Amino acid sequence: MTDNRRLEFGWFLPTAGDTTAYGLASAQIAPSLELFDKVVQSAEAAGFEYMLVPVQTACWEAWISSAMMVARSKSMRMLVAARPSYINPVLLAKMITAFDQLSGGRICINLIAGQSEAENASEGVKWGKEERYEIMDEEVSILKALWTTRGPVDFDGKFYQLKGAQIRPYPLQTPHPRFYLGGGSRQAWEISAKHSDVHLFWGDTYERIRANMAEIRQMAAAHGREKQIGFGMRLQIVCRETEKEAWDFAHGLVEHASAAQKAFVKERFATSEANRRVRELAAIGEVIEKNLWTGITQVRPGAGIAIVGNPEQCAQTLQNFVDLGCHSFCLSGYLHDEEAERFGKWVMPILRERNKERMLAA
């Protein structure tokens, strides 16, 4: 199925800080308002439309950070994580709609069930992974009901029971802010099929992405959403003027990481299906497709597959995913302000030229 919806590009807000070399103390940049301003301003100037704001123990709190940065930017939307059982869904619905109204519609929601069981336990989340997805399903159903029903809402679920719930204000966006989800398990796919506007894949082989898209679209059809669900990629990027410069920086980014750091990433996130898949890809080899590198997966959890190359190679790799049917690209790179600038100057023009009818004007 061809998906001709408009292409969109998002960038990453490094709320745990930034670096040019994992494991090298002198290369670390601490999180701060100054850092966040630099990254958001660079991303906005480069043509990115939304910022992914992460949630993890090491990160600054996402909702407060997002509210600050949406007020300090001109057009950037914030992609903020809603994690199951963290916030009462009625309060969450009100938080999101207040954000939506006050920002002029600049919020979208990232559905995350939690990559690490140890992290969930440390924060008092008693539910296992399967139950967290069940809770997420109920919470998103409640959000949608509260946002689209003009009157009291009743809900009788396994985890939540509401009688006559109402909220103010209602969303500015119609029918409500969009939902994104990145997850590799069947349960995650089912939530995406039922609720998401965009399913974000982490980097993988082209054939694997093609097959997964077909399967999730088929699952969405069971909910009457085959044409509603869209697909995207969450990727790192290392773009330099020459391919050699790009690979030199990429290898330098991870060469100082200690064995203890690599073991921590591997063990703490072992129960995540998406993290298991990136480790599987890394075991296959350093490069899984031309210019698609697994190296960063050793030193950080999550979406560590990176596009590495010169501007033409980076643009072509992204174009390959566009041609597969992806329309949303959530990217990040090091340093985040500088990589955003390079992308806007070198890669974005190539993609605009090749996808004139599907991208906004510069």
- Residues 10-33 have pLDDT tens digits of 999 999 999 999 999 999 999 999
Q: Is 142 exposed, middle or buried (0-12, 13-18, 19+ CB in 10 A)?
A: buried
Instruction: Tell me: pLDDT of 162 over 70.
Output: yes
User: 303: pLDDT confidence band, cut at 50, 70 and 90?
Assistant: confident
Can you tell me whether residue 150 is helix, strand or coil? coil
The set of residues, in sequence order, having a beta carbon less than 8 Å from that of 141 and lying 6+ positions away, is 155, 157, 195
Residue 171 in this model has a pLDDT that exceeds 90:
yes
* Span 75-109, pLDDT tens digits: 999 999 999 999 999 999 999 999 999 999 999 99
Q: What are phi and psi of 78, to 5 degrees?
A: -110, 125
Torsional sign, CA 334, 340, 342, 343: positive
Q: Is the peptide bond before 301 cis (omega within 30 degrees of 0)?
A: no
In the chain, the N- to C-terminal Cα span, in Å, equals 28
Average pLDDT over residues 1-10: 82
Q: Using 50, 70 and 90 to split pLDDT, how confident is the model at 360?
A: low
Task: Please compute the mean of the pLDDT values over residues 343-350 and round it to a whole number.
Answer: 98
pLDDT for position 282: 66
What pLDDT band is residue 123 in, cutting at 50, 70 and 90? confident
Contacts 24+ apart (CB under 8 A), 68-74: 68/33, 68/36, 69/13, 69/36, 69/37, 69/40, 70/99, 70/103, 70/106, 70/107, 71/103, 72/37, 72/40, 73/40, 73/41, 73/44, 74/44
Residues 242-279: tens digit of each pLDDT: 999 999 999 999 999 887 777 766 665 555 666 667 76
Q: Tell me what pLDDT residue 194 has.
A: 97
Tell if the pTM clears 0.85, that is, is over it: yes
**pLDDT tier at 361 (50, 70, 90 boundaries)?**
very low
H or E element: which one contains 236? Answer: strand 230-239
Count Cα atoms within 13 angstroms, Cβ side, for 283.
7
Preceding omega of 24 cis (within 30 degrees of 0): no
Q: Using one digit for the tens of pLDDT, what is the confidence trace for 128-143?
A: 888 999 999 999 999 9
> How far apart are the C-alpha atoms of 318 and 305, rounded to whole Å?
13
Average pLDDT (160-187) is 95
